[in-house]
Amino acid sequence: MTKSYFVTGTDTEVGKTVASVAIMQAVAKAGLLVGGYKPIAAGSDETHEGLTNEDAVCLRAASNLALGYDEVNPCLLHEPCSPHIAAELENKEIMFSVLTDGLKNIQAKTDFTLVEGAGGWRVPVTYDATLADWVKEEKLPVILVVGIKLGCLNHAYLTAEAIRRDGLEIAGWVANRINPGTEHYSDIVKTLEHHLQVPKLGEIPYMTKVKTRDLSAYIDVKPLGL
């Protein structure tokens, strides 16, 4: 049976896609068939394939099997804002059944499926539901991405607390250095290691054009049982 994990972050723009790509690259190098899944994406660009989302495109590229864009990203919203607002603007309804069907499709084709969330853990998909509600339904173990910056300790503590309160396992976490000027970087990471009490899968340093690089060397997938 395929292994599946959900990647969430301490906030938006903290490196969920970067960490997801790095994990997928490392798993692929371990010899497994890997597929990326971005169930909901808000924000689109016109490409030769039509409207696509940059993060979903990155996950598709990191997959080591052929997947159509719609397989990777079944729910594409055009406005780069909270999914529930973008959906309302487009008169769309985000349906968990569609997200689940897409997940099962990827799982049926892979040994390892990585599901990237949108925004943070409590991102709304309607005025009454969050994406976390769907993750709970699917009982997916969670990988937490912490964008290392001032304030990230509080964000990481609260996110981990919410995930555990929802009854889900935090399988590991990734430190992503999003600001090269952040002071006390090593002390922040040490504090997170002490508090989170789950395996650190890796630390991704700050670099330019990071989404186009081979990041597998920065990730240890052994804690995921691989």
**What is the secondary structure of 12-33 as a DSSP string?**
TTSSHHHHHHHHHHHHHHTT--
Q: Is 181 annotated as a binding residue?
A: no
Amino acid sitting at position 70: D
Q: Is 50 annotated as a binding residue?
A: no
Q: Is 105 annotated as a binding residue?
A: no
Of 38, 139, 149, 209, which is the active-site residue?
38
Residue 109 designated active-site: no
Q: Is 176 annotated as a binding residue?
A: yes
User: How far is it, in rounded angstroms, from Cα 106 to Cα 178?
Assistant: 30
User: How far is it, in rounded angstroms, from Cα 159 to Cα 135?
Assistant: 14
Q: Is 120 annotated as a binding residue?
A: no
Helix (H) or strand (E) holding 62: helix 54-62
Work out whether strand 34-37 and strand 75-77 pair parallel, antiparallel, or are unpaired.
Answer: unpaired
Task: Spell out the residues 6+ positions from residue 162 whose beta carbon is closer than 8 angstroms to its own.
Answer: 121, 122, 132
Q: Is 117 annotated as a binding residue?
A: yes
Q: Is 60 annotated as a binding residue?
A: no
Q: Is 13 annotated as a binding residue?
A: yes
Binding residues for ATP: 13-18, 55, 116-119, 176-177
Binding residues: 13-18, 55, 116-119, 176-177
Binding residues for Mg(2+): 17, 55, 116
| Catalytic residue set | 38
